[in-house]
A and B are shown apart, each in its own frame.
Chain A
């Protein structure tokens, strides 16, 4: 609430009250805004920009993999010297593309773009707060991310190329510019950008946690919070505990690169020269990296799971099945995510006994994941399903989570992982379970909350076309990779012509590339729909999906402060859909039990006397029925 006061202080003389905008000028409203909703949109639009770029990079290297004979001369106007004299993609640039695709998608799209957007947008709206605990830190969080983005973006254009050692930036490759040109300035910029990114992520995370703990509206106990909020809460905690470790890892790498220390480097002879480094451990970096890297998978995935839980319940018109089990499994996943990291390192030379322990812990994490899938399926059972684009994308998420998650059982088994490690099987696995599932969660979220973000509806038909092409396209891209992986094809290969055992599957590789191009093209339908609907879409009702959560009790275009009057109090959990006896098939969280005697369960009648009198009057804009 302090933030709204601040805004009145910087009240500017050029302000216009023509429509829903609150006071302040263009700069304070849209650029350096401290309103969580504006910051969420900033994250979203930056995330969309990065997603498009990351997608384009992947299509460029898929051209190389799917059509190794084709001339890429036509890309010379864009890529310049990275196209060799005979019209091929430069081999180091290929690795740079792979590296930047991974970095962009994992961090800039699925961490900042997903968590940044929806944590910011939904936490205050769904728990009933006027804004984040600190609007200023929140603004800083975006601008650190923005600065980080600018640096990462510029690194794409420098003459030695962006970082090229893989998104995991394992030293010594990432430490030695003589080993790969991307480890020169490009890697420095990568490290600086990531350091800023971590700062942004921590500022955001602290804010999310504080807001959820301290700023819930009256009645919003932890057990009445929507699953989205639970997911964002766990995500923020995971991020807060793991990102600093990446920061430390990056800092030591900076020391090794620039100040001659030997944290990761030892016994290196490169280009006719023995380096002075001794006593470092390359494996140390991998431990540190994956101590973030594995929780990062859940930082990416949990918000998507939270979003889909909410959307599936709303559009099945049913309570989410096993609300407490869903929270429990997320909690369990969040804890386990910290003690499974070394399953990325079974064959790195790590002590095999550690391998056994990490295999055990890793396969345990499959249990809460399985529980989540079963709960989603049971939520659909005997529902009354509306296929909104948000719902379609959520169903897609569950399908990817299943298909991609199940292959984790192979990879988590160290004995089986010996053969599959660093093959296309791994690529297929994590692109489905983490990449595509989270991406679909993000898309579902955009379609579902667009009406609250921009006050207008996105076009339904374009949305469903976008879904079907993307859903089928993603499967066509990643499913064939399982076969290629079982056949032993290693990942990050520029071409497969050097080995007899990788001489086959040119057809599948071509199919994958064609599907990738198709899938990327379909995203332009979304882009058009997104920007067109922002200005020309149908006006949205206040609660277009007949949903229970608090954000839908705000007016069509909530101003800074979210509710024009008092913040509504909460009386019930967020999943009272299709309650027997109720008039409508939904009862918003702010409706007290005293108003719904016809549908109350016995123990809920007991709650009535605790509700106090006249509180229901605090509902300012009633849900539109």
Chain B
């Protein structure tokens, strides 16, 4: 019932609009040709453009000013300060250019609207003018390019030797992190070894894997360079740490990396924002399937001591999955147990001995 009333209403409105249109057309025909080269109301458009320009420019500046804190994210990384500075410099340059060109254009449109008494100027070219506005944008862009290049080269320069290495793995639709353990080196992985438990595809013949541990939160130390090694299991994903200005795709078959240095711990950021519920977050920014929008990974920035303490409190993957000891080559089992933090009990020692015989 309701639906048919709506349909009827719409039809009625359309019919009325059509009638208005027809009556308007007929009135126009009756009035006859005004003899002018432009349609009636030509001036109105010039005025409307000015109104549009004023309203939208005022709205733009007003909204940008009032809501500044809402659309800017706090910065929590060293290179983030640099890229944000570049962003705002570029914003300054472009907003000035944009505002001037917009005003000039809309004022011309208004000022030079059709008038019967005037004839347009025959002004086909002016080489000096054209050279000027080729060279000036050229110079401005060159400056922006070179400052950008310097920042980009710094950001993508090789990581330092003692950077904290952490691996991030993307899969539909979750992230996991792998830490290298005490040996500070990530062990080898092979996608063919992946199964429901061995989700990293750890190659346990490599002793470096034995102390690796898994985490469902990204913990990073403040003030120390972190090297994220990034890979994906199934399709493309992208590591996005908005507060750290970090973004790098996760590609199956091609490990990628991104290095950065966090400048504020979670607690410091909470205090600064006056929001004790604040948490850093990591998201996915490369379309990866239906759960793309939900790949949240919690991020915690600790002080260096807290970070070391947290690492010590984590069990190695091998310790949590002792069944996989069978995949460790017999000769490495004892050292694996020591590395993984599994108490070496006699029984296993014997088994190891038998295995190696």
Contact = CB atoms under 8 A, between A and B. Distances in A.
Assign chain B's interface to a size class: 35 or more
Nearest to B52: A472
A486 B113 contact: no
Contacts of A501: 73, 242-243, 281, 283
B322 interface: no
B125 A323 contact: yes
Contacts of A359: 145, 148-149, 152
Contact of A266 (B122, B124, B252, B292): B252
B191 A268 contact: yes
A278 B25 CA distance: 69
Nearest to A486: B71
Contacts of B236: 170, 172-173, 282
B287 A165 contact: yes
Interface in B260-301: 277-279, 281, 283-294, 296
A242 B55 CA distance: 42
A442 B162 CA distance: 57
Contacts of A176: 234-235
B303 interface: no
Contacts of A472: 52
Interface string A322-355: 1111000000000000000000000111001001
A262 to B, nearest CB: 9
B224 interface: no
Interface string B151-182: 11101100000000000000110000000000
A355 B156 contact: yes
Interface string B90-117: 1101100110011011001100111100
A384 B87 contact: no
B134 A371 contact: yes
B31 interface: no
A461 B40 CA distance: 9
Interface in A409-435: 409-410, 413-416, 418-419, 421-423
A381 B172 contact: no
B287 A395 contact: no
A367 B252 contact: no
Nearest to B24: A461
A382 B90 contact: no
B144 A479 contact: no
A355 B156 CA distance: 10
A359 B153 CA distance: 12
A176 B72 CA distance: 37
B122 A577 contact: yes
Contact of B129 (A265, A378, A460, A496): A378
Contacts of B86: 413, 415-416
B152 A352 contact: yes
Given A179-B235, A381-B108, A387-B38, A91 B149 contact: no
B123 A318 contact: yes
Interface stretch (B41-49, B205-213, B214-222): B41-49
A25 interface: no
Contact of B292 (A378, A419, A493): A493
A290 interface: no
Contacts of B48: 468
Contact of A504 (B70, B83, B152): B70
Contacts of B80: 419
Nearest to A93: B290
B108 to A, nearest CB: 4
Interface string A382-424: 1111111000100100110011001101100111101101110
A339 to B, nearest CB: 15
Contacts of A317: 119-120
A380 B109 contact: yes
Given A418-B155, A422-B286, A499-B296, A269 B149 contact: no
A265 B141 contact: no
A395 B249 contact: no
A318 B235 contact: no
A487 B153 CA distance: 25
A374 B145 contact: no
A419 B83 CA distance: 8
Nearest to B289: A180
Contacts of A410: 87, 90-91, 94
Nearest to A380: B108
A352 B253 contact: no
A384 B253 contact: no
A298 interface: no
Contacts of A364: 141
B148 A490 contact: no
Contact of A409 (B56, B90, B101, B195): B90
A381 B130 CA distance: 15
A172 B148 contact: no
Nearest to B59: A479
A383 B110 CA distance: 11
B184 interface: no
B67 interface: yes
A349 B86 CA distance: 22
A321 B238 contact: no
Contacts of A416: 83, 86-87, 90, 148
B56 A269 contact: no
Contacts of B289: 92, 95, 173, 179-180
16 contacts: A166-B287, A170-B287, A172-B236, A269-B234, A282-B251, A318-B122, A321-B125, A367-B137, A381-B112, A387-B39, A415-B151, A421-B285, A490-B283, A499-B296, A500-B277, A577-B122
Interchain residue pairs A-B with the least CB separation, the first 7? A266-B253, A352-B156, A349-B256, A267-B253, A387-B45, A415-B151, A382-B121
Interface of B: 21, 24-25, 37-39, 41-42, 45-46, 48-49, 52, 56, 60, 63-64, 67, 70-73, 80, 82-84, 86-87, 90-91, 93-94, 97-98, 101-102, 104-105, 108-109, 112-115, 118-126, 129-130, 133-134, 137-138, 141, 144-145, 148-149, 151-153, 155-156, 171-172, 191-192, 194-196, 201, 230, 233-236, 238, 240, 242-243, 245-249, 251-254, 256, 277-279, 281, 283-294, 296
